[in-house]
Amino acid sequence: MGSTTANTDTMQPFDPFSQSFTLLAADGTPFNVSMSDVNDYVSYGGRILVNYSSQIGASAILLVVLLLLTKREKRRSPIFILNSISLALNTIRSILQCLYFTGPFYGFYAYFASDYTRVPKAQYGVSIAGVVLTFLLLVCIEISLILQMRVVCVTSPKLQRFWITMTSAVVALLALGFRLALL
Protein backbone atom coordinates (compact mmCIF):
# COMPACT_ATOMS: atom_id res chain seq x y z
CA MET A 1 0.00 0.00 0.00
CA GLY A 2 2.87 2.32 0.77
CA SER A 3 4.39 1.74 -2.68
CA THR A 4 1.19 2.74 -4.53
CA THR A 5 0.93 5.95 -2.55
CA ALA A 6 4.50 6.86 -3.43
CA ASN A 7 3.84 6.03 -7.08
CA THR A 8 0.82 8.34 -7.32
CA ASP A 9 2.71 11.14 -5.61
CA THR A 10 5.32 11.19 -8.40
CA MET A 11 2.75 11.11 -11.25
CA GLN A 12 1.79 14.34 -12.95
CA PRO A 13 -1.91 15.22 -12.75
CA PHE A 14 -3.81 14.31 -15.91
CA ASP A 15 -4.99 17.29 -18.00
CA PRO A 16 -7.73 16.12 -20.40
CA PHE A 17 -7.52 19.39 -22.34
CA SER A 18 -3.94 18.75 -23.45
CA GLN A 19 -4.33 15.14 -24.55
CA SER A 20 -4.02 13.96 -28.12
CA PHE A 21 -5.58 11.13 -30.05
CA THR A 22 -4.48 9.02 -32.97
CA LEU A 23 -6.09 8.89 -36.39
CA LEU A 24 -5.12 6.73 -39.33
CA ALA A 25 -4.27 8.14 -42.75
CA ALA A 26 -5.72 6.50 -45.84
CA ASP A 27 -2.65 4.25 -46.10
CA GLY A 28 -2.98 3.19 -42.45
CA THR A 29 -0.21 5.41 -41.14
CA PRO A 30 -1.11 6.75 -37.68
CA PHE A 31 -0.88 10.44 -36.86
CA ASN A 32 -1.71 12.39 -33.73
CA VAL A 33 -4.09 15.30 -33.33
CA SER A 34 -4.06 17.31 -30.12
CA MET A 35 -7.03 18.86 -28.40
CA SER A 36 -5.54 22.31 -28.94
CA ASP A 37 -5.38 21.56 -32.70
CA VAL A 38 -9.06 20.59 -32.65
CA ASN A 39 -9.98 23.71 -30.67
CA ASP A 40 -8.04 25.93 -33.08
CA TYR A 41 -9.69 24.19 -36.05
CA VAL A 42 -13.22 24.70 -34.71
CA SER A 43 -12.52 28.25 -33.54
CA TYR A 44 -11.01 29.31 -36.87
CA GLY A 45 -13.94 27.86 -38.82
CA GLY A 46 -16.43 29.71 -36.63
CA ARG A 47 -14.57 33.02 -36.84
CA ILE A 48 -14.12 32.85 -40.60
CA LEU A 49 -17.79 31.96 -41.15
CA VAL A 50 -18.91 34.92 -39.02
CA ASN A 51 -16.61 37.14 -41.08
CA TYR A 52 -17.90 35.94 -44.45
CA SER A 53 -21.52 35.92 -43.30
CA SER A 54 -21.30 39.53 -42.19
CA GLN A 55 -19.72 40.40 -45.54
CA ILE A 56 -22.65 38.77 -47.34
CA GLY A 57 -25.15 40.83 -45.40
CA ALA A 58 -23.22 44.10 -45.56
CA SER A 59 -22.42 43.80 -49.27
CA ALA A 60 -25.97 42.83 -50.23
CA ILE A 61 -27.51 45.65 -48.20
CA LEU A 62 -25.02 48.21 -49.52
CA LEU A 63 -25.72 47.09 -53.08
CA VAL A 64 -29.46 47.57 -52.58
CA VAL A 65 -28.89 50.98 -50.96
CA LEU A 66 -26.54 52.01 -53.77
CA LEU A 67 -29.05 50.98 -56.43
CA LEU A 68 -31.98 52.68 -54.69
CA LEU A 69 -30.32 55.96 -53.70
CA THR A 70 -28.21 56.72 -56.76
CA LYS A 71 -29.82 59.11 -59.24
CA ARG A 72 -30.54 57.71 -62.69
CA GLU A 73 -28.05 59.97 -64.47
CA LYS A 74 -25.22 58.81 -62.16
CA ARG A 75 -25.92 55.11 -62.74
CA ARG A 76 -24.03 55.10 -66.03
CA SER A 77 -20.82 56.43 -64.51
CA PRO A 78 -17.87 54.01 -64.43
CA ILE A 79 -17.44 54.50 -60.68
CA PHE A 80 -21.06 53.51 -59.98
CA ILE A 81 -20.79 50.48 -62.26
CA LEU A 82 -17.49 49.33 -60.69
CA ASN A 83 -18.79 49.84 -57.16
CA SER A 84 -21.96 47.88 -57.96
CA ILE A 85 -19.95 45.08 -59.55
CA SER A 86 -17.60 45.05 -56.53
CA LEU A 87 -20.48 44.68 -54.09
CA ALA A 88 -22.09 41.93 -56.19
CA LEU A 89 -18.74 40.10 -56.54
CA ASN A 90 -18.07 40.35 -52.81
CA THR A 91 -21.52 38.95 -52.02
CA ILE A 92 -21.03 35.98 -54.35
CA ARG A 93 -17.42 35.45 -53.22
CA SER A 94 -18.44 35.43 -49.56
CA ILE A 95 -21.21 32.91 -50.26
CA LEU A 96 -18.68 30.66 -52.03
CA GLN A 97 -16.25 30.99 -49.12
CA CYS A 98 -19.03 29.99 -46.70
CA LEU A 99 -19.72 26.96 -48.90
CA TYR A 100 -16.02 26.07 -48.74
CA PHE A 101 -15.88 26.24 -44.93
CA THR A 102 -19.08 24.23 -44.52
CA GLY A 103 -18.21 21.70 -47.22
CA PRO A 104 -16.02 18.63 -47.50
CA PHE A 105 -12.76 20.58 -47.92
CA TYR A 106 -13.04 21.72 -44.31
CA GLY A 107 -14.15 18.32 -43.03
CA PHE A 108 -12.35 17.22 -39.88
CA TYR A 109 -10.60 14.17 -41.31
CA ALA A 110 -9.87 15.76 -44.69
CA TYR A 111 -8.28 18.75 -42.99
CA PHE A 112 -6.09 16.90 -40.49
CA ALA A 113 -5.10 14.04 -42.78
CA SER A 114 -4.78 16.27 -45.85
CA ASP A 115 -6.87 13.62 -47.60
CA TYR A 116 -9.21 15.28 -50.09
CA THR A 117 -9.97 12.15 -52.11
CA ARG A 118 -13.67 12.27 -51.19
CA VAL A 119 -14.13 15.91 -52.12
CA PRO A 120 -16.43 16.10 -55.18
CA LYS A 121 -15.22 17.89 -58.29
CA ALA A 122 -18.01 20.47 -57.90
CA GLN A 123 -16.42 21.55 -54.61
CA TYR A 124 -13.14 22.20 -56.42
CA GLY A 125 -15.11 24.51 -58.71
CA VAL A 126 -16.53 26.37 -55.70
CA SER A 127 -13.03 26.75 -54.26
CA ILE A 128 -11.50 27.95 -57.53
CA ALA A 129 -14.39 30.36 -58.21
CA GLY A 130 -13.93 31.89 -54.76
CA VAL A 131 -10.25 32.56 -55.44
CA VAL A 132 -10.89 33.95 -58.93
CA LEU A 133 -13.69 36.21 -57.66
CA THR A 134 -11.35 37.56 -54.98
CA PHE A 135 -8.91 38.61 -57.71
CA LEU A 136 -11.67 40.13 -59.87
CA LEU A 137 -13.00 41.98 -56.82
CA LEU A 138 -9.57 43.48 -56.21
CA VAL A 139 -9.35 44.54 -59.88
CA CYS A 140 -12.72 46.32 -59.66
CA ILE A 141 -11.81 48.01 -56.38
CA GLU A 142 -8.43 49.22 -57.65
CA ILE A 143 -9.87 50.64 -60.87
CA SER A 144 -12.69 52.32 -58.94
CA LEU A 145 -10.19 53.88 -56.53
CA ILE A 146 -8.06 55.21 -59.39
CA LEU A 147 -11.14 56.75 -61.02
CA GLN A 148 -12.26 58.27 -57.72
CA MET A 149 -8.78 59.71 -57.22
CA ARG A 150 -9.01 61.35 -60.64
CA VAL A 151 -12.32 62.93 -59.65
CA VAL A 152 -10.77 64.30 -56.46
CA CYS A 153 -7.79 65.70 -58.39
CA VAL A 154 -9.85 67.28 -61.19
CA THR A 155 -8.77 70.78 -60.12
CA SER A 156 -5.07 69.86 -60.02
CA PRO A 157 -2.78 70.84 -62.89
CA LYS A 158 -2.77 68.38 -65.77
CA LEU A 159 0.85 67.24 -65.24
CA GLN A 160 0.33 66.71 -61.52
CA ARG A 161 -2.89 64.77 -62.18
CA PHE A 162 -1.00 62.59 -64.70
CA TRP A 163 1.73 61.65 -62.20
CA ILE A 164 -0.77 61.03 -59.41
CA THR A 165 -2.69 58.72 -61.75
CA MET A 166 0.50 56.92 -62.80
CA THR A 167 1.60 56.46 -59.19
CA SER A 168 -1.85 55.14 -58.26
CA ALA A 169 -1.80 52.77 -61.23
CA VAL A 170 1.64 51.41 -60.24
CA VAL A 171 0.46 50.83 -56.65
CA ALA A 172 -2.69 49.13 -57.95
CA LEU A 173 -0.69 46.93 -60.31
CA LEU A 174 1.65 45.95 -57.48
CA ALA A 175 -1.32 44.94 -55.33
CA LEU A 176 -2.81 42.97 -58.23
CA GLY A 177 0.56 41.35 -58.94
CA PHE A 178 0.93 40.18 -55.34
CA ARG A 179 -2.64 38.82 -55.36
CA LEU A 180 -2.03 37.08 -58.67
CA ALA A 181 1.13 35.50 -57.25
CA LEU A 182 -1.00 34.03 -54.43
CA LEU A 183 -3.27 32.26 -56.91
Cβ atoms of 112 and 30 within 8 Å: the answer is: no
pLDDT value of position 81: 96
Tens-place pLDDT, residues 4-37:
555 555 678 888 888 888 989 889 899 999 999 9
Q: How far apart are CA 19 and CA 75, in angstroms?
A: 59
Q: What is the mean pLDDT of residues 127-151?
A: 95
Q: What is the mean pLDDT of residues 121-132?
A: 94
Tell me, what DSSP letter sits at residue 13? P
Q: Give the three-state DSSP class for 34.
A: strand
Cβ atoms of 35 and 19 within 8 Å: the answer is: yes
pLDDT value of position 63: 97
Judge whether residue 103 has pLDDT over 80: yes
pLDDT value of position 164: 93
Return phi, psi of residue 125, to 5°.
-65, -40
pTM, two decimals, is 0.82
* Torsion angle defined by CA atoms of residues 22, 24, 28 and 31, in that order, rounded to the nearest 10 degrees: -50
How many CA within 13 A on the CB side of residue 14? 4
